[in-house]
Amino acid sequence: MLRPYISVASVAIAPNAPTANLTSVTTQQMICPGCRAEIPLGSAFCPACGNPSPTVITNERVAAPPPSSPAPEGSGGQGVRPTAERLARALGPKYQVKRLVGRGGFAEVYELWDHDLDRRLACKVLHPEIAWTPGMLVRFRQEAKALARLQHPAILPIHFTGDAEGLVYYVMPFVEGESLADALRRRRSYSAEEALQIAEPILQALAHAHAQGLVHRDIKPDNVMLEANTGRALLVDFGIAKLLDPGAATAGGGAKTATGFTVGTVQYMSPEQALGAPNLDGRSDLYAFGAMLFQMVTGAPPYDGNSSAEIVGKHLADPIPVASDVNARIPRWLSDAIVKCLAKRPEDRFQTADEALAALTRGRAAGSAKLVAAATVERQVRRSGEVRFRPGRFGWWVAGGLALVAGGLLLARGAGFVGTGVAFAHNALVEPVEILLDGAPIDTVRPEGTARLALLRGRGDGGSHAELRWRLLRPGNPPIGEALEGPLPAFRSLRGRRVAPIVAEVGGQSYFAPLVTNTSATDITIEVNPGTQAAVRCNCLVPKGAVRTHIGYYRLYRNSTIAAYNNAHPYAGPHADREGFAPRVAPRSGAVVLTF
């Protein structure tokens, strides 16, 4: 039960108070790729047209925008020419800039005509406010050389790059067709077979690139082109997200810059990329690929929300959605492969694109056989004469069947499906619990684990059940958080078993377990429900860079808040607050991910 608490004190940070020691995840101001309206900070969608927004997640201030390019000769210093005109001057007379063909989250695409070779080309011009960062041009040329090594039929190559007239751009072949994002907007979803025809060449392209040590970093439907004439899928913008990331290694191979940020789209971003992990590998691409494949067969990304922060939180903490639960026509083997791609931890995913491709190939082969009804099989067997029913053998069949039934009953009783002597306790919490009988511990149940309890006659349903209790094993030494203990809940029938569920509620009071991710520049300490009679200090330290740190369980109210302080000045001075998270708390486990 969620109850409001009454605040007896409140603390506010003065507008000019220093906050450099504790910074939260923020987003750079973005422009809608569809209507060019400004997208508010933290929004996952354009408020004007509803278009999803590419997001730049940062834990520090972004680099200053580029210096304005010099006014062209003859302009009298009256401003800067339009982008198309500036691009034409940058490319020279060999190329004609014909038209603007599209806008993306970080670039505009123009159609070119190559006069020397009589061919159509496409030129992507990076938005200066994103592209121009310290050391950008040096790294841009270096990365372009690396990308030139990619030779694969499903990867759209880069012909050449350039920078002039205040623009940074690269030129590639012109593809007549549409993006996968446009196709999904038009038709919503694909059948499993159609989705695999697109997904398999993308995996092959990723396998080729990963073998060269290159990671895409921005797999999403917008970066997959579908050629109009052939229908083949092409992966575009390979490595561009890294080019736009000033946190990558500098020209001299030195440390990351202090203003590092991660470029990507939150609906498809892996947890480690969202948290700004410095060394992403191919498994991050496989996560994004899984999110894209999920959308292809269900019509929607696996996680969505009203803000970038909400979507990132779901990537970090929410259960992995099962595609076949959304669309029953999706084969289970395909749904299982998507779940494996979307594992929270990289080590739990497919380790290579080849491994993911092999799983899809095996599933496709196994699922391609035509299903045959049991009645059809029976008729075929009877016609073949392979089975003859003889009266002399019928008794043996009956005896064998009875023996199997008896053995099954014994196994079912031992597993708790029949009989009254066996029951189970399931721990839905994120911390282990002890099972107590008459005050003495008899078993320990791990998080999300189930323990088999051998109950004595008369205990379990109406006898001495009140003597069975559970107790939370709190994290830390000394233990942190609030102590939880209560009677073992009443046993319920679950899939034929009698199970007592242990959830985050004792005596009608709900509790929650904040899993704290610290992206700030300092170690922090936490106070729960500050300024109220329910205030509890964790007396713990969450180191910088920590991900989903457990700090115990605390009482949950509709307006619960958490304050994070710089550990150098605990519970004093500037702090960062998190509030309004009560609706996001998992009802059974009480878990909620909070990022500072």
545 and 481 in a common domain = no
Q: Is residue 306 part of a domain?
A: yes
CATH number of the CATH domain containing 269: 1.10.510.10
pLDDT at 296: 95
Q: Which residues of the chain have pLDDT under 70?
A: 1-81, 104-106, 128-144, 146, 239-264, 367-422, 454-466, 495
Q: Is residue 293 part of a domain?
A: yes
332 and 284 in a common domain = yes
Q: How many residues does the chain have?
A: 596
Domain end point (choices 498, 529, 558): 498
pLDDT at 172: 84
220 and 355 in a common domain = yes
Domain end point (choices 498, 525, 551): 498
Q: Are 292 and 221 contacting, i.e. CB atoms less than 8 angstroms apart?
A: yes
455 and 337 in a common domain = no
Strand bridging mode 422-427 / 497-502? parallel
DSSP 569: S
pLDDT at 48: 59
| DSSP result, 45-89 | B-TTT--B--EEEESSPPPPPPPPPPPPTTSTT-----HHHHHHH
Tokens linked to 519: 């992206």
**Beta bridge pairs of residue 122:** 111, 172
Buried b (16+ CB within 10 A) or exposed e, 237-247: bbbbbbbbbbb
pLDDT at 180: 92
Q: Is residue 183 part of a domain?
A: no
Between CA 10 and CA 286 the distance in angstroms is 45
**What are the catalytic residues?**
218
Q: Are 322 and 335 contacting, i.e. CB atoms less than 8 angstroms apart?
A: yes
Q: Are 436 and 468 contacting, i.e. CB atoms less than 8 angstroms apart?
A: yes
Between CA 82 and CA 108 the distance in angstroms is 12
295 and 221 in a common domain = yes
289 and 200 in a common domain = yes
pLDDT at 135: 59
Q: What is the pTM of this model?
A: 0.51
Q: How many domains does the chain have?
A: 4
Q: Is residue 221 part of a domain?
A: yes
CATH number of the CATH domain containing 579: 2.60.40
539 and 394 in a common domain = no
Domain end point (choices 472, 498, 524): 498
Q: Are 286 and 341 contacting, i.e. CB atoms less than 8 angstroms apart?
A: yes
**Beta bridge pairs of residue 121:** 112, 173
pLDDT at 52: 52
Would you put residue 532 in left (φ > 0), alpha (ψ -120 to 50) or beta? beta
Q: Is residue 559 part of a domain?
A: yes
Q: H or E element: which one contains 579? A: strand 575-579
Q: Is residue 246 part of a domain?
A: no
274 and 348 in a common domain = yes
Cite the beta strand spans of 410-475 per DSSP E: 422-427, 433-437, 440-445, 450-454, 468-472
530 and 487 in a common domain = no
pLDDT at 262: 47
Helix (H, G, I), strand (E, B) or coil at 498: strand
Q: Is residue 294 part of a domain?
A: yes
269 and 338 in a common domain = yes
Helix (H, G, I), strand (E, B) or coil at 184: helix
DSSP alpha helices (H): ranges in 78-223? 83-91, 128-131, 136-147, 180-187, 192-211
**Beta bridge pairs of residue 526:** 564
434 and 346 in a common domain = no
pLDDT at 198: 93
Helix (H, G, I), strand (E, B) or coil at 362: helix
Q: Are 517 and 547 contacting, i.e. CB atoms less than 8 angstroms apart?
A: yes
pLDDT at 118: 87
Q: Which domain holds residue 463?
A: 422-498
Q: Are 196 and 333 contacting, i.e. CB atoms less than 8 angstroms apart?
A: no
Q: Is residue 289 part of a domain?
A: yes
464 and 405 in a common domain = no
